[in-house]
Chains A and B, each alone.
Chain A
Amino acid sequence: MTSLSQTQEPFRLKTGGLIDRSQPLSFRFDGRSYTGRPGDTLASGLLANGVHLVGRSFKYHRPRGIFTAGPEEPNALVELRRGPRAEPNSKATTVELYEGLEATSQNRWPSLSLDLLSINSALSPFLAAGFYYKTFMWPARFWKRLYEPVIRRGAGLGRASLQPDPDLYEKAYAHCDVLIIGSGPAGLMAALAAARAGARVILAEEDFRFGGRLLAERFSIDGMSAAEWVERALAELASFDSVRLMPRTTVYGVYDQGTYGAVERVNDHLAVPQEFQPRQRSWHIVAKRAVLASGAIERTMAFANNDRPGVMLASAVRAYVNRFGVAPGKRVVVFASCDDGWRTAETLAATGVAIEAVVDTREDQALLASSFPWRVIPGGAVERAHGGHRLRGVTVRDASGAAIELDCDLLAVANGWNPSLHLTCHLGGRPVWNDSISAFVPGPLPPRMSVGGAAAGHLTLAEAIADGARLGAEAAKETGFDASPPALPGVEVEEGTAHVPLWRVGGGKGPAFVDLQNDVTTKDIELAHREGYGAVEHLKRYTTLGMATDQGKTANVNGLAIMAEITGRSIPQTGTTAFRPPYGPVTLGALAGQHRASHFRPKRLPPSHAWAEEQGAVLAEAGLWIRAQWYPKAGEERWQQSVAREAATVRRAVGVCDVSTLGKIDIQGADAGTFLDRVYINKMMMLAVGKARYGVMLREDGFAMDDGTVARLGVQHFVTTTTTANAAKVMQHLEFCRQVLWPNLDLKLVSVTDQWAQYSIAGPRARDVLAKLVDPAFDISNEALPRMGVTALEVCGGVPARLFRVSYSGELAYEIAVPARYGDALMRALIEAGEEYGIVPYGTEALNVLRIEKGHVAGPEFNGQTTARDLGLGGMMARDKDYIGRVMAERPALQGVERPILVGVMPLRPSRILSAGSHFLAAGSGYVAANDEGHLTSVAWSPELGHDIGLGFLKRGTDRLGERIRAVDLLRGQDVECVVCAPVFVDPKGERTRA
């Protein structure tokens, strides 16, 4: 006891451990201040201050303490930080202590020591597995409103902050010859072997300190302490340019082709991340070979009240003493089924902690007792733990059946080890049972991965070192390096792995927990068996064993073993326990990286973007594009006013709209015409040079895919446009046709969408505006450039341009294209030139109004379910050539007269408002699907007509012009009487475009 005399941290040992005693770190837990040291985890800091009670359990609100010293921790889950940075369910055993750390306990009310919901614990006999579903079945409607909310309030762990995360996250890619996962003795040796051979090595370690179990044991390697040996190995590794050391990095998943997912906690060990740095970084590591050296997790045993704070894994006790310089108790009982537990007694005894007794489940261990100075109870078992917020003692049943009461505040439990083989299962490998260590060891491994050390079931230090050296050299050799295993360092330790696991101890009063985090007891497993859920997958789902945030790292195998005992089968007969990614929880922020909020996906800015912003345009996302929807003017209170003004100005004077977002594809080659004939329904080969034509293309299944214009710039040179939405899809389709279907055709496709800024200038004064900008050498008169004419020319003193006389608005209209860098200047020049004619910029909303007035089909009509015939474009389908989709479009069902076809509709009373999506119903017919006659796809208020108009698909529509029909929208509660009309509302003869 002499070493535990410090006042601040009463359980801190005077010497030993990998912490910096010279530097106190202050931190708070549940509002109380404590100090710890650099090198501590939150758990070791709390233990140094004698704090054992750290949380309440999930279901029964039982007091819980610190059970492990690593990532397998099921109990000590706390809420870390406050405000927007609060992180629930942080494992105190892995949280690195920092100055000013704040943590609070979870799932208790009003406080940790007085938790009123611990009444659930008294009710525990009634709250067994399946209880909720069996009890709260009736009346059924109570479940959603009453039962579930109440249950949810009682159960559960931490709560998310619900505030926006203020920190940065990012993704990164890394490549290596050999990825080594874990930096214990096997991992370090593997890294040394591969690095010395010259391989590019990544050494990923979940902990903030490299070394694995070497940090927690009193090993001696090559005549030095294990910690010193680790430091030397790290120094050597750091000296290689080809080695990347990645501490605080958890490899959480194995994916195809040697890809590994990892998350690096770059700044989690600080209250606020360092400036410009992310909190976490998610890595895609591509490795030619991987060596898994992830160690093993010690197991517990199930006995009554085995969850009391003060019951701890024996290996964790050693870690707290040896690595953190903390004595987790004053009077200790060790409960072991293996030699390993004895090491804990030795470690503790060396620090002066009183060993009350070593209880060994094996009777023959009695022989060993003679050489130890403490009480040994061979063939015994801890039957029950006593105490509430802290362990006070245990009842032990000895080999003769007599009960022995022992006082203690710490019980160290050792029941063998489970290899941390999680990653070996990620591509489908199933673990296999190994009788000699009574544990599952890796089965078939993912391609190009090897596994060594404790992760492979080789539990001694000497084996781990030998495995690492061999596997590291092998991996380097397989990636092309001349490698041989390095000389093995000398290990002076004799370790026994003798072990007879004991899974449960009956007889004690109180729940015996198997899954500490999900509050699953031995009784739940028995119940599952009685109720027919004996299969391991059923057991898991019925009891929720292994389904908590720790994914059963300390529970799965024990649960399986107990089910095996109950059913009288062997463990391998009962089943296996396999794992999926992720190995540990991964923050969504890390997976998203920088791609969140407005950076969720890349944005595309059209050439007039800066100018549109200056004008105060209202912008909207259109696919990836940011487009101006309308340009509000002072005094306009509703968006409809701006849109109506813009559309009306186009009809009356002139407007300009950025249409650069249309996909533009440059097609050149001797067979370009042939190619276009095969992809469009109408004929393109005979299109004259200097002319453009509207075209429609179908999918292979005969449905309409996209439309646009095809312009012929030269005999072997075309440029086509696609809709904004389908640009990438059409380019992909055309490249598929070119490369796969018709590789013999001579043509090339190049996307020129970004190369050209393209503006539509529409309205009676369009030519007047353009004439002011086109260089005098070029004639754009109606005669020189008639409707559908195309020409290359120069504007504003020699800037190359293309002029297309095409109209979407139904007015005299042009599209002018200039190299993208002149786009901004050209927009400004057009506005200036058009000022005397009253030019306005118009956005996508006015564009839509104008096209609906003209009955031009667009996205709402090209919805993937309509054919050219449905769109009223059947007449364009050439009969004397073949093209993609022709045969399938001729299927009888697609020709049926009952199939809805494009029509226009107008409300009978002009004041009525139409809504897109309304269904067409005949007068007097009821609101049932059988009466559905089609639907309304596009709707706009027409400034030209002064009322709403719409386009839609109606059964036998072309035969029903003038008929009355109802547009019914039950979602908005509308039932509007309409008149069916031809889908062209303005200038039906198309005279304006020829002006």
Chain B
Amino acid sequence: MPKLAPLSPLAAVAVPGRYGKCIGGPRPVVLTERPDMRLCVLSARRGASAQVAEMVQGLTGLTLPQGPKRVAKQGLALIGTAPDQWLAVAEGDAASASLDTLIEALAGTATTVDQSGGKAVLRVSGSRARAVLAKGCMLDLDPRAFTPGDAATTPIALIDCVLWQLDEAPSYDLAMPSTFATSFWAWLTASAAEFGYEVAAPQQPR
């Protein structure tokens, strides 16, 4: 019986290397595909919001955000995407195990739907990351308006994305429907070319 090897949505196009302007100079934009992340939509069942928040707090130590915010601890992040709905993102084995625990514990109280294959996650980082994203993202990502911990559900270059800021580099993660990923990539790389960008080696897909 053949073994099935997972293939990340951008495997064919995101080839590590330096592209666009100033190859060899500074790295104003770094793009990294994150197929290693596990994603799961988590939504509280009717009337169970408080109970879900309590269980999440107890199990992970995280306070479920109300509104478009991200909280994270030890590789497990929860991002508010809609009323009573969150995107859980796990990076690394420990966080993945916590996510499994959470999914199991929440059965009946919240619905959980795996989206690890349904979404491609791209990390866009570097001093010109904002200028690149401004070519497709309608939101104001200026540090006065959007900071680490902020998140948004918004179309970027006509593609629905969940976006969250990680640090002040700045670094952003963008989660988009995986079948749109190559189209998104074409827009992103064309937009980043004038600054020069690096495609970092992706993690192994999980």
Contacts and interface: CB of A to CB of B under 8 A. Distances in A.
Query: Are A and B interaction partners?
Result: yes
B113 to A, nearest CB: 4
A822 B12 CA distance: 15
A796 B111 contact: no
Contact of A818 (B4, B47, B187): B4
A796 B194 contact: no
Contacts of A832: 2
A833 B111 CA distance: 36
A756 B118 CA distance: 7
Interface string A726-747: 0000000000000000001111
A745 B205 CA distance: 37
B140 A599 contact: no
Interface stretch (B53-61, B62-70, B92-100, B173-181): B173-181
A821 interface: yes
Interface centre among A668, A795, A820, A829, by most B CB within 10 Å?
A820
A610 B158 contact: no
Interface residues of B, number: 54
Nearest to B44: A748
Contacts of B177: 604, 753-754
B138 A284 contact: yes
B111 A668 contact: yes
Contacts of B205: 821
Contacts of A748: 43, 45, 85, 111
A797 B180 contact: no
B73 interface: no
A138 interface: no
B142 A610 contact: no
Interface string B5-23: 1111100100000001100
A669 B8 CA distance: 31
A947 interface: no
A137 interface: no
Contacts of A173: 134-135, 137-139
A750 interface: yes
Nearest to A743: B46
Given A821-B6, A829-B4, A755 B187 contact: no
Nearest to B135: A172
A106 B3 CA distance: 68
Interface string A810-825: 0000000011111111
Given A602-B157, A602-B184, A820 B134 contact: no
A594 B187 contact: yes
Contacts of B2: 773, 796, 825, 828-829, 832-833
Given A277-B194, A286-B140, A669-B46, A602 B159 contact: yes
B4 A826 contact: yes
A799 B4 contact: yes
A944 interface: no
A489 B9 CA distance: 60
Interface centre among A278, A602, A668, A757, by most B CB within 10 Å?
A602
Contacts of B194: 276-278
Interface string B107-135: 00001011111110000000000000011
A175 interface: yes
A821 B179 contact: no
B46 to A, nearest CB: 4
A771 to B, nearest CB: 11
B117 A756 contact: yes
Contacts of A797: 1, 3-4
Nearest to A774: B1
A77 B145 CA distance: 44
B45 A754 contact: no
A882 interface: no
A821 B158 contact: no
Given A200-B144, A277-B194, A820-B117, A795 B4 contact: yes
A141 interface: no
Contacts of B119: 754
B111 A669 contact: yes
Given A168-B190, A750-B111, A820-B178, A796 B138 contact: no
B183 interface: yes
A222 B105 CA distance: 73
A602 B115 CA distance: 21
A755 B6 contact: no
Contact of A172 (B41, B113, B134, B178): B134
Contacts of B137: 173
Nearest to A198: B144
Given A172-B135, A822-B6, A752 B142 contact: no
B153 interface: no
B193 A276 contact: yes
A85 B39 CA distance: 47
A500 B45 CA distance: 76
B32 interface: no
Nearest to A613: B12
A248 to B, nearest CB: 16
A772 interface: yes
Contacts of A799: 4
Nearest to A664: B118
Contacts of A668: 111, 113
Interface size class of A (residues with CB under 8 A): 35 or more
Nearest to B138: A173
Nearest to B4: A825
A797 B3 CA distance: 7
Interface centre among A625, A775, A829, by most B CB within 10 Å?
A829
Contacts of A175: 140, 142, 145
B191 interface: yes
Nearest to B133: A173
A590 to B, nearest CB: 13
Interface centre among A284, A757, A825, by most B CB within 10 Å?
A825
Nearest to A266: B194
A970 interface: no
Interface centre among B113, B140, B144, B182, by most A CB within 10 Å?
B113
A880 interface: no
Given A752-B118, A754-B119, A755-B115, A276 B5 contact: no
A584 to B, nearest CB: 23
Interface string B140-170: 1010110000000000011100000000000
A174 interface: yes
A606 B135 contact: no
B159 to A, nearest CB: 5
A666 interface: yes
B50 interface: no
B35 interface: yes
B201 interface: no
B7 A821 contact: yes
Interface in A52-102: none
Contacts of B135: 170-173, 594
Contacts of A603: 180, 182-183
Contacts of A200: 142, 144
A753 B177 CA distance: 9
A819 B114 contact: yes
Interface string A166-190: 0010111111000000000000000
B45 A755 contact: no
Nearest to B178: A754
A924 B180 CA distance: 53
Contacts of A820: 9, 117-118, 178-179
B91 to A, nearest CB: 17
Contacts of A756: 117-118
B113 A754 contact: no
A637 interface: no
Interface of B: 1-9, 12, 20-21, 35, 41, 43, 45-47, 85, 111, 113-119, 134-140, 142, 144-145, 157-159, 177-180, 182-184, 186-187, 190-191, 193-194, 205
7 contacts: A170-B191, A610-B12, A746-B45, A748-B45, A756-B118, A799-B4, A821-B35
Of all A-B residue pairs in the complex, the 7 with the closest CB atoms, nearest first, are: A755-B118, A820-B117, A175-B140, A819-B117, A746-B46, A825-B4, A821-B6
